[in-house]
Amino acid sequence: MYYMMHECNEPYVPLEKEISILRSYTDLEKVRYGNRLTLELDISGKWNDKEIAPLLMIPFLENSFKHGTSRTLDNPWIRLSLFVTESRLFFNLANGKPYGDEAPKLKKGIGLANVTKRLQLIYGTDHVLQVDNMPDQFSVYLEVPVRKI
């Protein structure tokens, strides 16, 4: 919470801090769900000398728990893959959901709508955001440039 309130006021923050927030959030949710949740977290690449606009990924992760895992009674799962190259970040997130359940739409949810607007303002056409709402899963693919610190 301190990070979100006090350290995200800059246009860019260390990617290492953003990754730390993702890990901390998943660790907290692991405690909450215990063995009922299958959580795959794959973070690779070189991120300790990169920076990114703050709080772009966490709303997607929060939504995967809020709209997917918390509503799935049998075998809830989340897969998060993050890969960082010299110039780009590739973020892939998928979660199960009750079959046919409506997932949040970009125009309905405040968090998703805000991230979409921020991506457009910050990166213009130099980003990719693909959201797929399938009958039994919800997935997000995000690709953005990273800056060297």
CB 8 within 8 A of CB 20: no
Q: What is the pLDDT of residue 111?
A: 75
Instruction: Give the C-alpha separation, 95 to 77, whole Å.
Output: 6
Question: Is the distance from CB of 71 to CB of 58 less than 8 angstroms?
Answer: no
Q: What is the pLDDT of residues 64-91, one digit of tens each?
A: 988 777 666 678 899 999 999 999 999 9
Q: Mind listing the domains of the chain with CATH numbers?
A: 38-148 (3.30.565.10)
pLDDT at position 100 is 58
| pLDDT value of residue 71 | 64
Contact 70, 62 (CB under 8 A): no
Q: Could you report the per-residue pLDDT of 32-51, keeping only the tens digit for each?
A: 888 888 999 999 999 999 99
- Sign of torsion over alpha carbons 46, 56, 34, 71: negative
* pLDDT band per the 50, 70, 90 thresholds, residue 144: very high
> With 90 as the cut, is the pLDDT of residue 7 above it?
no
Q: Quote the pLDDT of residue 9.
A: 81
Kind and range of the H or E run holding 11: none
- pTM equals 0.88
pLDDT value of position 75 = 82
Taking residues 93-114, report their average pLDDT: 70
